[in-house]
Amino acid sequence: MPTQIKFGTSGWRAVMAEDFTFANVRRAVGGIARYVASQKRQGARVIVGRDPRFLGETFCSMAAEILSAHGIAPVVVSEAAPTPALSYAVIQTKADGVINFTASHNPPEYNGIKFSTPDGCPALPEVTRKIEAEIEAGDGSKSSAAHGNGQRPAAENLDPKPMYLKRLGEIVDLEVIRKAGLRVGFDPMWGAARGYSDELLRSAGVAVDTVHDQRDVLFGGHAPEPDDHLLEDLRRRMRETGAQIGIATDGDADRFGIVDGDGTFLQPNYVIALLFDYLVESRGWKNGVAKSVATTNLINALAKKHGVQLHETPVGFKYIGELIMQDKIAIGGEESAGLSIRHHVPEKDGVLAGLLCCEMVARRGKSLGEQLKFLCNQVGSYYPLRENFRLTAEVKEKFTEKLRTDPREFAGRKVCDVVRTDGLKLVLDDGSWVCYRLSGTEPVVRVYSEARDEAGLEKLSAAAKQWIFQ
């Protein structure tokens, strides 16, 4: 029985040599090729890119051959490239999609495939369902013959870097950063943003010091995730050079990590809120703001303060991407360190996030910590937390049933609102909330909590855990 290939919120990911095998990659790419061919019978072109993971070049070559066999011209990106750069490239070149070999911030033993549609957006569920159906149909076919017209289009080559960096230079005020004399630390975490963020800043005369600026398919022996506990090398370099800000990106550069001048890591929740406030101030954009259901209500408070419409989406950036394409929002973000802005790609962009933070610090002349304190003095403090809990089969079954209920009280407080946009979110009468989301790939429940002070968060977190296992 072939492995079932399922595309989740960010594509299909699996452990290499277990489920991510040559055979399964052929099945997945074949399914994508048949889907693209069903949408455009002739003249289709699909970009093929990757992050720096092991065997990335080999997978790209395989994909190019399969696409060509289906009558689709492969447009191959030879070097590792950020996911948002590939997203921008598919829009600019009017290609018919992107096959991106990446497992994003997953550990080095993983690889994956992201598929983006011609609009640069991560494939929506209606698309991935069709791709999964094409994979299944291919499994049941007696013949592996392609559906093209017999002609095999030659592969094209593409370097998305120049066009993408040019676009970032149009969005970000690099001159403000240069004039402020800002010194920046940069950590691409051995990933796809190497030579992107730092090169653009240096071209504008900004002093940048980079760590982990070489290919390492093992990413230093851990996940290429720009989280607090993995950024000590960046902090060390910042201390040595006197940098006022540190910016980091994950393996495929769609996620960001931001370190203040004093070494403090800023939660992505706070970064999104600060940049939302800054874009309203500096660009005058008040057309809307979007956040996932699990992202801080500090953004809700800011939306009210600025008179901006708030959109709360399910988890998965594809939903925020749709709002960007419709020009309904100035910025959209998720607590898992993904954001993008108006007039840009409908895809998470960790490179852009870091550059905008540099601009914000330079223009305001205040550290990120000072800016956050000022913001909270205006609209109140918010303390978000994310926790994962592993479940036994018995506990998971029982808890899945519990998620269908509508509790009237929680943590000793009245439940004012029950939100089922994604999972179960309980909003309490003091403005605090807790949200439960079951993982679709492992026996884990993700718990997001937020309170208005640290003591309240500690109490809410304890109650959230108790509610799972009681």
Q: What is the pLDDT of residues 358-402, one digit of tens each?
A: 999 999 999 999 999 999 999 999 999 999 999 999 999 999 999
Rg value, the chain, Cα: 22
424 CB contacts (<8 Å, ≥6 apart)? 403, 418, 435, 436
User: What is the band of 141 on the pLDDT scale with cuts at 50, 70, 90?
Assistant: confident
The DSSP call for residue 42 is S
Write the pLDDT tens digit of every residue in 156-170. Answer: 999 999 999 999 999
Q: How far apart are CA 421 and CA 426, in angstroms?
A: 11
Mean pLDDT over residues 84-110, rounded? 97
What is the per-residue pLDDT for 147? 55
User: What is the band of 140 on the pLDDT scale with cuts at 50, 70, 90?
Assistant: confident
Residue 320 has pLDDT above 60, yes or no: yes
Which amino acid is present at 71?
G
What is the per-residue pLDDT for 144? 47
Residues 256 and 339 sit within 8 Å (Cβ to Cβ): yes
Q: pTM of the prediction?
A: 0.95
Write the pLDDT tens digit of every residue in 37-92. Answer: 999 878 999 999 999 999 999 999 999 999 999 999 999 999 999 999 999 999 99
Mean pLDDT over residues 179-184, rounded? 98
Q: Domains along the chain?
A: 12-159 (3.40.120.10), 163-379 (3.40.120.10), 383-469 (3.30.310.50)
Mean pLDDT over residues 104-114, rounded? 96
How far is the CA of 207 from the CAs of 183, 185, 195, 211, 237, in angstroms?
5, 9, 14, 14, 13
Residue corresponding to tokens 């309170």: 451
Write the pLDDT tens digit of every residue in 222-263. Answer: 999 999 999 999 999 999 999 999 999 999 999 999 999 999
Nearest to 389 by CA among 425, 436, 456: 436
Residues 364 and 275 sit within 8 Å (Cβ to Cβ): no
Residue 9 has pLDDT above 90, yes or no: no
Look up residue 382 and give its two tokens. Answer: 């918010």
Look up residue 85 and give its two tokens. Answer: 């750069």
* Residue count of the chain: 470
Residue 45 phi, psi dihedral angles, 5° rounding: -135, 135
Query: What is the H or E stretch that residue 415 is in?
Result: strand 413-419
Residue 219 has pLDDT above 50, yes or no: yes
Look up residue 71 and give its two tokens. Answer: 């009558």
Nearest to 194 by CA among 237, 266, 250: 250
What is the residue-averaged pLDDT of the chain? 95
Q: How far apart are CA 111 and CA 13, in angstroms?
A: 6
